[in-house]
Amino acid sequence: MATYEDFEKLDVRVGKVVGVEDFPEARKPSYKLNIDFGKELGIKKSCAQLPTNYTKEDLKDKLVLGVVNFPPRQIGPAVSEVLTLGVPDKDGNCILIEPTKVVPLGGRLY
């Protein structure tokens, strides 16, 4: 069972998608994202399986949540620096977790 101290180790922040590219080399349909996490963290890269529910235009300027303190992960020819958070829809495809109000970039989940 996880403890509250385990939860505190995760650094989940609000970011804004500032760039989206196709990722044809991925095994499953995916995008490469550039996400701005504010002045403290800057722009980080993420790879996410989102094309089923989002177009590139849908994602541009969207606020998202991401875990920013995992080690970078090599995904094919790309490096993912953050884990963009989502939940599965009824078919198992990713729906992003996003703030419903405008909040400062880099704000930490608590």
In a domain, 102, yes or no: no
In a domain, 47, yes or no: yes
In a domain, 2, yes or no: no
In a domain, 109, yes or no: no
Q: Report the pLDDT averaged over residues 53-74.
A: 97
Tell me: the pLDDT tens digits for 14-51?
Answer: 999 999 999 999 999 999 999 999 999 999 999 999 99
Q: In one letter, which amino acid is 98?
A: E
pTM for the model stands at 0.95
At 51, which CATH number? 2.40.50.140
Q: How confident is residue 75, by pLDDT bands cut at 50, 70 and 90?
A: very high
What CA–CA distance (Å, rounded) separates 62 from 103?
12
Q: What is the CB neighbour count within 10 angstroms for residue 73?
A: 13
In a domain, 52, yes or no: yes
In a domain, 3, yes or no: no
In a domain, 33, yes or no: yes
Q: What is the pLDDT of residue 49?
A: 97
In a domain, 74, yes or no: yes
Q: What is the pLDDT of residue 21?
A: 97
Q: Phi and psi for 89 in degrees, rounded to 5?
A: -80, -175
Note down the domain range covering 71. Answer: 11-96
Q: What is the pLDDT of residue 106?
A: 98
Q: Give the count of domains, the chain.
A: 1
Find out whether 85 and 43 touch, Cβ atoms under 8 Å: no
N-term to C-term CA, the chain: 19
